């Protein structure tokens, strides 16, 4: 059994459904990278009992739940909307409850509070063997006007609001033992629809981590998004990993980047035409001492996926293929480079 901890999202309803958890265990996962509880209308506090119930459900299936890849909302804070003070208070109450329940890592959503916060210009572009996947071309959206509801924001305003959030939330996170992580903007190019996409480079994440220096502030390393930036992904893993800033990872590959003609397209994880050397990426995680959890991220839709359902990026066959590929990479890397370290 490899040391790397793996999780997966499969399209059988909610991630905590009994059949999903059984399948994760059958596929050899160790962890669930989950989401927070439902909340009653008019409330933004994640209650301790609701979080604990989720954690107990996962653990009954022999899986670990320490990471939520969401968090209570912060859009009023980030976009300076009415009610931001109450939202901050509710967020901090939720941090206390998360820590008490044993959740160690969360990922607030800083991206624009609109339905297409994750932009794709093509949801079903053909890729290997006629499978389809999502793609993005900035030239097709760069002139889309700002939304009527929100108008246009300036980058410095978003940075200032994010700093305000962190200065007020990080002390509570430290007391609660919870790490606040951030995911890159997807796509990592700016602006789109009047919204600055501030987390679009390695330098931007360095700036973020410097706003409020703390071991409880980190990165959800979505290597697909870093690939979309056009950067050297294994080098980026080493950059943040050596600082101990990667707390969970999305394993993904693309062709192209946001800065290339035609943009980028998501592809199968094992497709050699991708811009990321996936073997070197997995090896880089081991080199910096990161052992998960990680999960396969967006994958193409195959001819068999009409049986299982799902939505663009989240289909069964590509995800299962990716998980097996990731486990094979991890085993080969451990046996080749880290055999003497294995306990």
Exactly one of 31, 90, 297, 305 is catalytic; name it: 297
Residues 6+ apart with CB under 8 A from 260: 230
Backbone angles phi, psi at 285, to 5 degrees: -60, -45
Q: Which residue blocks in the chain are alpha helix, DSSP H?
A: 18-26, 48-59, 75-78, 84-101, 155-176, 202-211, 223-228, 233-241, 278-287, 305-308, 316-337
CB 266 within 8 A of CB 298: yes
Exactly one of 222, 232, 286, 305 is catalytic; name it: 222
CB 202 within 8 A of CB 211: no
Strand 254-256 relative to strand 264-266, pairing = antiparallel
Exactly one of 35, 110, 239, 250 is catalytic; name it: 250
Dist. CA 227–CA 133, nearest whole Å: 16
Residues 6+ apart with CB under 8 A from 79: 112, 113, 150, 153, 158, 161
The question of whether 222 is a catalytic residue gets the answer yes
Dist. CA 113–CA 138, nearest whole Å: 20
Exactly one of 110, 239, 298, 315 is catalytic; name it: 298
Exactly one of 79, 308, 314, 325 is catalytic; name it: 314
Q: Is the peptide bond before 293 cis (omega within 30 degrees of 0)?
A: yes
Tokens of 147: 């939304």
The question of whether 341 is a catalytic residue gets the answer no
Exactly one of 29, 35, 110, 183 is catalytic; name it: 183
The sign one gets for the Cα dihedral 129, 249, 80, 113 is positive
The sign one gets for the Cα dihedral 211, 236, 272, 268 is negative
| Best CA proximity match to 222, nearest among 158, 277, 296, 272 | 296
Strand 132-136 relative to strand 122-126, pairing = antiparallel
| Best CA proximity match to 309, nearest among 4, 6, 17 | 17
The question of whether 206 is a catalytic residue gets the answer no
The question of whether 314 is a catalytic residue gets the answer yes
Instruction: Report the catalytic residues.
Output: 183, 222, 250, 297-298, 314
């Amino acid at each position: 059994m490899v040391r790397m901890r793996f999780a997966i999202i499969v399209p059988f309803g909610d991630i905590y459904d009994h059949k999903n958890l059984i399948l994760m265990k059958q596929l050899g996962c160790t962890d669930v990278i989950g989401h927070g509880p439902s909340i009653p209308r008019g409330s933004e506090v994640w209650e301790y009992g609701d979080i604990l119930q989720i954690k107990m459900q996962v653990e009954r299936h022999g899986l670990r739940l320490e990471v939520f890849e969401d968090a209570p909302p912060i859009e009023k804070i980030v976009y300076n909307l009415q009610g931001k003070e109450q939202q901050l208070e509710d967020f901090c109450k939720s941090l206390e409850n998360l820590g008490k329940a044993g959740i160690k890592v969360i990922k607030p959503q800083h991206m624009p509070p609109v339905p297409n916060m994750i932009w794709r210009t093509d949801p079903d572009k053909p890729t290997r063997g006629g499978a389809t996947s999502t793609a993005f071309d900035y030239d097709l959206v760069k002139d889309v006007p700002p939304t009527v509801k929100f108008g246009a924001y300036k980058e410095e305003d978003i940075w200032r609001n994010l700093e305000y959030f962190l200065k007020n939330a990080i002390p509570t996170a430290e007391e609660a033992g919870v790490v606040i992580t951030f995911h890159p903007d997807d796509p990592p190019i700016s602006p789109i629809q009047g919204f600055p996409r501030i987390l679009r480079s390695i330098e931007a994440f360095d700036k973020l981590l410097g706003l409020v220096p703390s071991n409880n502030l980190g990165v959800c390393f979505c290597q697909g998004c870093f690939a979309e930036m056009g950067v050297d992904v294994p080098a980026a893993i080493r950059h943040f990993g050596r600082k101990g800033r990667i707390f969970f990872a999305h394993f993904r590959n693309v062709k192209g980047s946001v800065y290339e003609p035609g943009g980028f397209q998501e592809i199968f994880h094992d497709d050699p035409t991708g811009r990321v050397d996936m073997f070197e990426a997995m090896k880089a995680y081991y080199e910096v001492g990161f052992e998960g959890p990680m999960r396969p991220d967006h994958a193409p839709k195959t001819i068999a996926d009409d049986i299982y359902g799902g939505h663009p990026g989240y289909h069964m066959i590509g995800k299962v293929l990716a998980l097996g590929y990731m486990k094979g990479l991890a085993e080969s890397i451990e046996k080749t480079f880290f055999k003497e370290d294995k306990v």
